[in-house]
């Protein structure tokens, strides 16, 4: 699962999720000169991370660069297309498609025949972004026919990213497929794709999923944060304010509200940058929460969070957290 859409791991204990190590004020005001220097260092970290030998770290960095430094990241995006790792080829396709890098068009077209089906989806998305509209059929057919639930969900997500109203008919048809009716993951993602294409009824369905089972709820909150629609504000506010809710869900709500220019979740996100899990059955909980906290702060956009983000980027021994913190810094300090 891509960096900006964190892995939906099983949630086990509320006590562990809420065990923040203290709640002191972490807001620090940096001068304009200090902010620009911090931005420079954060961008440099992302460029170096995009060449990491760890495919997950490199993928995370590419996905961050396409949002915060696409021009400087372009050589990394093109390099990823030639990677031996499918995850990186997929990320390279999405990044080149996002910036409409026609120079990479030939390399991307070759990936339409890649052995990895997810890479083929990424290539189809990219060439569509560059004007080759018939390739969207690869996405639509995967969503309707592929036996792999994850690939169907990815196809729906990519169709939603295209924000093409003409796709609505195919998306609604896919919802009626029996294989998709049985998958909450594909169903939520398909309704989210419809919402991204301007379907208000589908948006209401995504909002309703916030009241569903934990996995549907987290996925719906991710989708609502990406869509950034004002109509989701009330649902996200409710989740954020619920102290019994999973911390991951509250941080996703904080991020979504941040995209609606609300800093309501800033204190929770700041405190969560120092979260330490006591759950031995979920060793990924600490980095997952800290990354979500960083990304929420980035979308909230308050420069007062830069001190905490600087500490997170400098002190963490987990490169994924460093990348998330650097992404957030670059979101806040616009070059």
The pLDDT tens digits of the residues spanning 147-168 come to 999 999 999 999 999 998 888 9
pLDDT at 181: 84
Alpha helices in 32-85 (DSSP H): 32-49, 55-68, 70-81
> Tell me, what's the pLDDT at 16?
35
For residue 9, give the nearest of 321, 326, 281 by alpha carbon. 281
pLDDT at 180: 86
What residue spans define the domains of the chain?
Answer: 14-332
Q: Name the burial class of residue 98, with classes exposed (0-12), middle (13-18) and buried (19+) by CB atoms within 10 angstroms of its CB.
A: middle
Higher-confidence position of 4 and 142: 142
Calculate the alpha carbon distances from 192 to 44, 150, 225 in Å: 34, 15, 11
**What integer pLDDT is reported at residue 29 of this predicted model?**
83
Residue 9 has pLDDT above 50, yes or no: no
Q: Whole-angstrom Cα distance, residue 252 to residue 53? A: 29
Token reading at 181 = 């009716």
Q: Are 188 and 181 in contact (CB under 8 A)?
A: no
Nearest to 287 by CA among 300, 272, 298: 272
Strands (E), 127-283: none
Task: Name the fold adopted by 14-332.
Answer: Zincin-like fold (1.25.50)
Q: Which one-letter DSSP state was computed for residue 30?
A: P
Does residue 69 contact residue 46 with C-beta atoms inside 8 Å? yes
Q: What is the DSSP letter of 163?
A: T
% the chain with pLDDT above 70: 92
pLDDT tens per residue, range 276-295: 998 889 999 999 999 999 99
Of 212, 264, 270, 272, nearest to 247 (Cα)?
Answer: 272
Q: Is 94 exposed, middle or buried (0-12, 13-18, 19+ CB in 10 A)?
A: buried
């Amino acid at each position: 699962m891509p960096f900006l859409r964190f892995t939906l791991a099983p949630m086990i204990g509320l006590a562990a999720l809420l065990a923040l190590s203290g709640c002191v004020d972490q807001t620090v005001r940096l001068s304009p000169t200090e902010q620009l220097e911090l931005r420079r260092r954060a961008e440099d970290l992302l460029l170096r991370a995009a060449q990491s030998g760890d495919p997950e770290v490199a993928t995370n960095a590419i996905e961050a660069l396409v949002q915060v430094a696409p021009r400087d990241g372009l050589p990394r995006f093109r390099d990823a297309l030639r990677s031996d790792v499918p995850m990186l080829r997929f990320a390279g396709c999405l990044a080149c498609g996002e910036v409409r890098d026609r120079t990479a068009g030939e390399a991307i077209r070759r990936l339409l025949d890649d052995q990895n089906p997810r890479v083929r989806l990424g290539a189809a998305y990219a060439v569509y972004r560059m004007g080759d509209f018939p390739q969207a059929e690869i996405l639509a057919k995967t969503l309707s026919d592929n036996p792999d639930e994850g690939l169907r969900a990815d196809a729906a997500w990519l169709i939603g990213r295209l924000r093409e109203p003409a796709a609505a008919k195919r998306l609604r048809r896919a919802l009626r497929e029996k294989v998709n009716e049985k998958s909450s993951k594909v169903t939520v993602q398909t309704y989210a794709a419809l919402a991204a294409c301007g379907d208000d009824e589908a948006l209401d369905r995504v909002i309703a999923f916030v009241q569903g089972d934990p996995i549907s709820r987290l996925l719906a909150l991710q989708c609502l944060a990406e869509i950034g629609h004002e109509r989701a504000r009330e649902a996200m506010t409710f989740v954020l304010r619920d102290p019994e809710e999973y911390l991951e869900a509250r941080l996703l709500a904080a991020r979504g509200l941040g995209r609606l220019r609300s800093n309501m979740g800033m204190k929770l996100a700041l405190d969560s940058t120092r979260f330490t899990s006591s759950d031995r059955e979920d060793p990924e909980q600490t980095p997952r929460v800290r990354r979500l906290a960083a990304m929420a702060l980035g979308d909230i956009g308050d420069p007062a969070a830069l001190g905490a983000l600087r500490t997170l980027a400098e002190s963490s021994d987990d490169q994924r957290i460093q990348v998330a913190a650097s992404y957030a810094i670059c979101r806040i300090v616009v070059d």
